[in-house]
Every structure is written in C-alpha cells, then in structure tokens.
C-alpha cells in the first residue's frame, strides 16, 4: 500500500489512527482471500467485531511511502487473534506491530464463530 496525502498530519507523518484503517483493510483482504467478504458474512448474520486492539508504533510512515501489511491468525478461546505487522517497502523495517482481537456475533449473539473457524481453518493456529 501507499500513504495518501489525506492520511498525514501537519507534520507530514501518518496519523496514529490511520494505522487502524491499514490493519483493518489487511484483515478484510484476508477474509476475501479466504472466501468470506464482510458483506457476505453480514448477509449470513455473521459479524466479526473488534474486541481489543494493541498497537506498538516503531517508526512513522510519511507521505508517499510504500509499505507492506502482513498478518497471522490464531485462536484464543472464542476470540480470533490477528498478529499484524506493517513493514516499510523493503519488507524488513518494522513500522507497526499490532495484536487485534476479534469476537464473532451471529444473529445478534456472541458465539465461538464456528463458520469462521471453518473458513479460516488452514490459516488458524490454536493457543
């Protein structure tokens, strides 16, 4: 991805809240790759919701910089835990390290997200 002009503050660096968008976009792309778009999930009554986000900022990104966003997925009880990293364009310079916990709501009720376990099975590790 590339930092766009409206994502930077007056200092010319990416605003801290924008990183949440980058991380969310990466999760959405992952879900689509796994065969589940957020629209399709919602239409089936499945809504993954953010339960907790922990972000460590290592180095700021600036206007026009390119970066790579990666994720790993594990399970902790009923939660889906995404270990996400954003790296500089070189793929080695650490920009952000994040742990994102997601709960699954099905038809208005908190569940263990079994349809997601099935869809993400080949990517998922258990704690």
* Catalytic site positions: 9
- Find the angle CA(36)-CA(96)-CA(5) to the nearest 5 degrees: 85
Q: By C-alpha distance, which of 119, 116, 8 is closest to 63?
A: 8
Cα separation of 41 and 15, whole Å?
30
**Rounded Cα–Cα distance for residues 110 and 51 (Å):** 11
């Amino acid at each position: 991805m590339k930092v766009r002009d409206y994502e930077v503050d007056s200092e010319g660096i990416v605003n801290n809240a924008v990183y949440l968008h980058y991380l969310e976009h990466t999760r959405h792309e992952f879900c689509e790759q796994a065969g589940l778009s957020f629209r399709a999930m919602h239409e089936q009554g499945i809504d993954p919701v953010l339960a907790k986000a922990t972000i460590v900022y290592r180095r700021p990104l600036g206007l026009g910089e390119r970066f790579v966003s990666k994720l790993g997925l594990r399970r902790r009880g009923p939660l889906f835990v995404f270990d996400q990293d954003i790296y500089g364009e070189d793929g080695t310079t650490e920009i952000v390290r994040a742990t994102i916990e997601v709960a699954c709501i099905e038809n208005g009720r908190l569940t263990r997200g079994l349809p997601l376990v099935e869809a993400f099975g080949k990517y998922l590790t258990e704690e």
